[in-house]
Structure 1
Amino acid sequence: MKILNNLIKYGLCLFVFLLPWQTRWIFKDAAINGQVWEYGRWSLYGTEVLLIILLLLALTRFFISPEFKFQIPNSPSASSGPVGKLQINSKSKIQNPKQFSKLLFWSIVILVIWSTLTISWSLDKGLAWYGWLKLAEGVALFWLITNQSQTTRTIANQSRIFLKTFSHALIASGVAQALLGISQFMRQTNISANKWLGMSWLDPTETGASVIEFLDMRWLRAYGSLPHPNILAGFLVICLLLVIINLWRHDHKVTNIKEVGARRGAHLLNSFYWLSAVIIFLGLLVTFSRGAWLAFIICFASGFIYWLVKKSRIIIKLNITLLIIFCLTFAFVWVSYPTQLFTTRFNPEARLEKKSMEQRTAGYQQALILLKENSVLGLGINNYTLALYQKDSRWPGYAYQPVHDAGLLTLVELGIPSLLLFVMIIISALKKKSEYILLLLAILILGLFDHYLRSFYFGIMLWWLVLAMNAVFIKER
C-alpha cells in the first residue's frame, strides 16, 4: 500500500510538472474553409494518459483498502480519527469548513450532471462529449489532489510533506517554462521545433506569431511550451504567487531551526524560492501579457496590504524586499531592450493593439448575440465556435475563436444554471481562509481577459488544480 500511495503522490507531482508540455495525438483533425479549426480537433495529450493512470491507481487503492473512502474534503468524517489528532496538535489555524465544503462538493457534482444534460441539445454531440470529457478530467484531477491530501493525513500524518512536494513540483515547472520563455525572447525564435514536445517553430516574421510591432520591427513574445504567450503568462502568475506564499510560510522560520543539517536544508530551500521568484517574474515580463500583469499586481498588492493590516513586521519586510527585486528586474529589462516593447502594449493606436481590441470587441458582440438566443439552457458544452460558424460561414477556420472571457463563454455554452453553480463553487472556495485564496483570485482575474481556462485542455486543468489547492492547503498563521 505504501508503494501505491507513493506512486500516486509522485505521479501527481510529475503531472503538474509536465502539464505545460503540449505533446498530443490529434486523432481527429478539423478544418473550416480549408484552414485548421483548432476548437474542432480531438486530441489526446500525454499528461492525460498520466492522469488516467493515476486515477486508476487511486480507484484501485479505494477498492482494495476499505479504510480509504470517498470523502468531501475537510468534511466531519475526514476530520475524525488520526486526522483529527493531526489538526488538534498542529500549530496551524484550521477552520471548520464543513458547511461550504458540502456546498463545494455538491456544486461540482451538479455542474457535471448539468454539463452532461447540455449535450442532448448541443449542435454537435461529438464535440460536446469531447468537451465534457475534458471537464470530467478536471474534476478527476480535483478529486485526486484532495483525496491524496486526505489520504496522507489519514495513513501517515504526511499531508504537509505531500502538499509541499506538490507545490515545489509546480514551482519547478514554472521555472522551466520561464527559462524557456526567456530563451525564446532573447533568441527571437524557439530553441527547436519538436512535435514530441508539442512545440512548433516560432518566427516573428510569420503571420500568426504573437508579436509586438513598432517601427519596422516585430518582437516575438515568450510562449514557453504553451500555444500562446497569454497562457504562459497565466501559468507563471500562479507559480509566482505560489513562490511568494511559500516564502511567507517558510522564510521567517529558518532562523528558528537549531539543528545544523536542517538549517542548511532550510537555507537551500529558501534560496530556491528567491531564485525562482526572480526567474518566474522575468519570464512573466517577457510574455508582455497585460491581463496577467494586472492579475499579479492586484494579488501581490492584496497580500501586501493584508500583512500591513496584520502588522506582521517580518512578512512586511519580506514583501518590501520582493517589491525591490521585482522593480530592479523590471528596470533591467527596461534599459536592456527598447522601451517601445512596453509602451506599445498600452498604445491603443498601435496597429496590432488596435486590431486586437477590434477582434475582442467583435467577439463580445458575437457572444451577446448567441447569449440572447441561448440564455437559459446554453447552446451546449464545447459548441461555441461551431455556433459562430453556423452564423457566418465565410471565414477561415482559425478566425472562429471563443469570446475572451471565460465566464461569458461558460454562460453562453452552459446557460444560467452553470454560471450559478460556478458562483457557488467560487463562494465556497473563497470562504477558505488561507493565503492560497490569492491563487483563486488570480485565476478569476485571468478569466476576465481570456478563454483558455474553458477552451484549452491546459486551462481546464489549471482551473481545477488551483481550486483543489485552495481546498486542501491549510492556513499556517
Structure 2
Amino acid sequence: MLTKLNQGLFYFFILLLPWQTILILKEVEINNEKFQYGTIGIYLFEIILLIWVLSNILVLKNYSDKKILFSILSFASFSALSILWSDDKLLSFYFLFPLLLGSFLFLILQKKVLIFKNITFAFIFSASLHGILGLYQFLSQNSFSNKWLGLSEHIAWQGGSSVIEVSTGRFLRAYGAMPHPNILGGLLLITILLGIGAYLKTSSFEKKWRYFLIATITINFFSLLSTFSRSSFLALSFGLILFFAYNVYNNKKYQIKALLMFLGVFFIIGFIFFSSFSELLMGRMQANSRLERKSVNERNLLIHQAQKIIVKNPIIGIGIGNYTYVLLKNNPDIKKIWLFQPVHNVYLLIFAELGAIGFSLFLFIVIFMIYNFIESFKKEDSNRVIFSVITVSLLLIALFDHWLWTTHFGVIAFWLLISFSREKDLTHA
C-alpha cells in the first residue's frame, strides 16, 4: 500500500512538473517594471517533489556507486558553499533549492523500480496540454492568464512579449504555460523524442498506446513549429539523427521504418506550416528583421558581459543565482530592464556563477552523461537509449539558452532525465 502511494506521488509530480503554478514570496521591481530574475517563490511541483524526496531519503544509506555519489554531491556542495561569497544570499538559496532537490531526485531514483509506460504517459499527457495551448495562442494570436495554472497573458503589441516582426505586423510566438517560447520548445523537444522512443519499443499489439503516441507527437511537432525556437529545432534534428544512428548500427529494421514514417509526418506538417506562414519562418530563420538583429546584438552583449564577470571572478565565481544581480550592481545607469538577463549559454553561466572549480565539477557530470549515452548504445538498453538521446540533445540546447540552469523546471527536468539515462530498473509494463 505504501509503495503504491509512493509511486503515485511520484507520477503526480511528473504530471505537475511542466506547470508553473507558484506561490510568490518576493517580487522585485526596477523602474516600475517586474524583474523576473529577482522573483522568489516555490512551485507546486517542488512541494510534491520535496515530500517524495523526504519520504525516500533513507534509501541512500547504502549507496553503492561511490563515484556518482561523490560527483553529484561535490557539485551540489560547492554550489551551496558559493552562498558564502554571493552578494544576494537569499537569491542564491532560491536557485540552490531546485539543484539540491534535483540532486537527491537523481540519487534516489537509482534505487527505485518504476514503470516506463506510466512515466512516459504522465509526462507526455501533461506536456501535450502545453502543446495544445501553444497552438491556440499562436493560431488565435491570443493568450490569457490563470494564476492557478501559472499562466501569464502575452500580447503581441506589448514590449517584452516574444514575437516575430514582419512587414504585415507583429506575431505572437507560442508560449504554452511557460515563461518563454524557447522553454516551451525545449519541453516539446523532450516530449517528441520521448514519444518517438516509446513508440519504437512498443509492441504492435498495444494499438491504443501507439495511437496516443502518434497523435501527441503530431500535435507537439506542430506546436514546436509555432514556438519558432531555433535551438529546439536544431536539438530535435540532432536527437533524430542519434535515434537513426542507434537503430542503423544495431540493424533494427522495424524501428528504422518507424523513424522514416515520423520523418514523413514531420515533412508534411512542415510543408503545411511553411505554406501558411512562410514569411514568419523566413523572417525568423534569416534573422534580418529589426527584432531579429536586435536579438543577435543583445546575445553578443550578454556574452561580453559574461566574459567580464568570469575574468573578474575566475576561480570561485560570484555565487549561484547571482548573475543578474551582479549585472544590476555593475550597471546602475542602464534603465532598460530587459538588458539584465542571463547569458544564453548554460556553460558560460555556470562558469560565471561558480568559477573554474564549479564549472570543472559540472563537466564531470557532462562527461558522465556522454558516457551513459555511449554505454547505452553498446548494451542496446532501449530505455537508457531514449533518455540518453534526450539528455545529449539538451546539452546542445544549453549552448544557446539558459533555462536549463535558471528555471526550476529546467533544473529538475535535467536531473530527472539523466537519472533515467542511467536507471536500470525501469520496467515497461
How does the TM-score come out when normalised to structure 1?
0.83
Letter in 2 for 1:213: E
| Separation in 2, partners of 1:225, 1:147 | 32
Where do residues 290-369 of structure 1 align in structure 2 (5 Å cutoff)? Answer: 290-335=230-275, 337-369=276-308
| RMSD, aligned CA | 1.8
Asked if residue 233 in structure 1 is aligned to residue 173 in structure 2, the reply is: no
Q: Which residue of 2 aligns with 1:134?
A: 98
Pair 69,206 (structure 1): closer, same or farther in 2 beyond 3 Å = closer
Where do residues 2-401 of structure 1 align in structure 2 (5 Å cutoff)? Answer: 3-59=1-57, 62=58, 68=59, 70-72=61-63, 75=64, 101-149=65-113, 159=114, 162-190=115-143, 192-250=144-202, 253-254=203-204, 263=205, 266-335=206-275, 337-394=276-333, 395-401=335-341
Name the stretch that deviates more: 306-315 or 227-236: 306-315
Residue 396 of structure 1, CA deviation: 4.1
Letter in 2 for 1:321: M
Pair 128,219 (structure 1): closer, same or farther in 2 beyond 3 Å = same
Letter in 2 for 1:56: L
| Separation in 1, partners of 2:342, 2:306 | 8
Residue 4 of structure 1, CA deviation: 2.0
Q: In the alignment, is the contact (CA less than 8 A) between 2:298 and 2:339 conserved in 1?
A: no
| Separation in 1, partners of 2:388, 2:8 | 25
Q: In the alignment, is the contact (CA less than 8 A) between 2:306 and 2:343 conserved in 1?
A: yes
Q: Which residue of 2 aligns with 1:427?
A: 367
Q: What secondary structure sits across from 1:286 in the alignment?
A: helix
Residue 144 of structure 1, CA deviation: 4.1
Q: What secondary structure sits across from 1:147 in the alignment?
A: coil
Q: What secondary structure sits across from 2:159 in the alignment?
A: coil
Residue 461 of structure 1, CA deviation: 1.3
Asked if residue 455 in structure 1 is aligned to residue 394 in structure 2, the reply is: no
Pair 320,21 (structure 1): closer, same or farther in 2 beyond 3 Å = same
Residue 69 of structure 1, CA deviation: 5.1
Structure 2: give runs of 5+ residues left out of the alignment: 377-383
- What does the per-residue CA deviation read over 1:67-86, in whole Å, with 9 as the maximum and x for residues that have no partner? x55454xx4xxxxxxxxxxx
Q: In the alignment, is the contact (CA less than 8 A) between 1:103 and 1:425 conserved in 2?
A: no
Q: Which residue of 1 aligns with 2:381?
A: none
| Separation in 2, partners of 1:303, 1:458 | 25
Residue 8 of structure 1, CA deviation: 2.0
- The match for 1:441 among 392, 396, 401 is 392
Pair 7,396 (structure 1): closer, same or farther in 2 beyond 3 Å = farther
Percent identity for Structure 1 against Structure 2: 32
How many residues in Structure 1 have an aligned counterpart in Structure 2? 415
Letter in 1 for 2:357: P
Q: In the alignment, is the contact (CA less than 8 A) between 2:23 and 2:42 conserved in 1?
A: yes
| Separation in 1, partners of 2:30, 2:362 | 32
Structure 1: give runs of 5+ residues left out of the alignment: 63-67, 76-100, 150-158, 255-262
Pair 69,416 (structure 1): closer, same or farther in 2 beyond 3 Å = closer
How does the TM-score come out when normalised to structure 2?
0.92
Work out which of the two has the higher radius of gyration on C-alpha atoms and give 1 or 2.
Answer: 1
Pair 301,388 (structure 1): closer, same or farther in 2 beyond 3 Å = same
| Separation in 1, partners of 2:121, 2:361 | 31
Residue 397 of structure 1, CA deviation: 3.7
Name the stretch that deviates more: 135-144 or 221-230: 135-144
Q: In the alignment, is the contact (CA less than 8 A) between 2:369 and 2:392 conserved in 1?
A: no
Q: What secondary structure sits across from 2:148 in the alignment?
A: helix
Q: In the alignment, is the contact (CA less than 8 A) between 2:134 and 2:175 conserved in 1?
A: yes
- What does the per-residue CA deviation read over 1:357-378, in whole Å, with 9 as the maximum and x for residues that have no partner? 0000000000000000111111
| Separation in 1, partners of 2:282, 2:3 | 51
Letter in 1 for 2:141: Q
Residue 387 of structure 1, CA deviation: 0.8
- What does the per-residue CA deviation read over 1:153-202, in whole Å, with 9 as the maximum and x for residues that have no partner? xxxxxx4xx23211221111221111111111111112x32112111222
| Separation in 1, partners of 2:219, 2:108 | 30
Letter in 1 for 2:107: W
Q: In the alignment, is the contact (CA less than 8 A) between 1:360 and 1:404 conserved in 2?
A: yes
